[in-house]
Amino acid sequence: MASEMALEKARAVADAAQAAADAARAAADAAQTYADQATGGVADAAGALAHAASGGAIDPFVFRLAVFVLAIFVGYYVVWSVTPALHTPLMSVTNAISSVIVVGALLAVGADAVAGQEANTAWAHGFGFIALILASVNIFGGFLVTSRMLAMYKKKS
């Protein structure tokens, strides 16, 4: 009698655990769907709008490439027009942005663990590794430049 009650309790606990696992999976799927819509939705909408407005003459890939190239030029001119007095705070902000890039690169390098399934992640590994190296160089270079700039303002004994 006691073993039957223990067996029933164990079944009830197992059923509750299965229900919790199903709810967690549903929440994870909903979060993934929301993240996919939030990150790609604006770019997809802009590309589709350019494609529709031009009567199909502008490919959405070309539109995104043009935005990327324009962002490179704008970034270049913004950074080189900064006065030297603002260089150290700018490098601090750049280091903070690069630290976020490092987190994303680590996620890309560990894409197998994040995906939880066998997926073709060779490109993610490659680009994640390159992003990790470049962001690390940017972070350490920023700290070196910042320390040299601050050393210029120290009183010489």
What pTM was computed for the model?
Answer: 0.42
- Nearest C-alpha neighbor of 60 from the set 73, 45, 71, 75: 45
Dmax (CA) of the chain: 88
- Nearest C-alpha neighbor of 149 from the set 56, 58, 99, 84: 84
What was the pLDDT predicted at 60?
A: 76
Where in the chain are the domains?
1-81, 84-157
What was the pLDDT predicted at 128?
A: 84
In contact, 126 and 115? CB cutoff 8 Å: no
Q: Which residues contact 132 (CB under 8 A, 6 or more apart)?
A: 102, 105, 106, 109
Q: Which residues contact 119 (CB under 8 A, 6 or more apart)?
A: 111, 112
Lookup result for tokens 């007095």: 85
Helix (H, G, I), strand (E, B) or coil at 67: helix
Residue 89 has pLDDT above 80, yes or no: no
Residue 143 has pLDDT above 70, yes or no: yes
Q: How high is the mean pLDDT of the chain?
A: 74
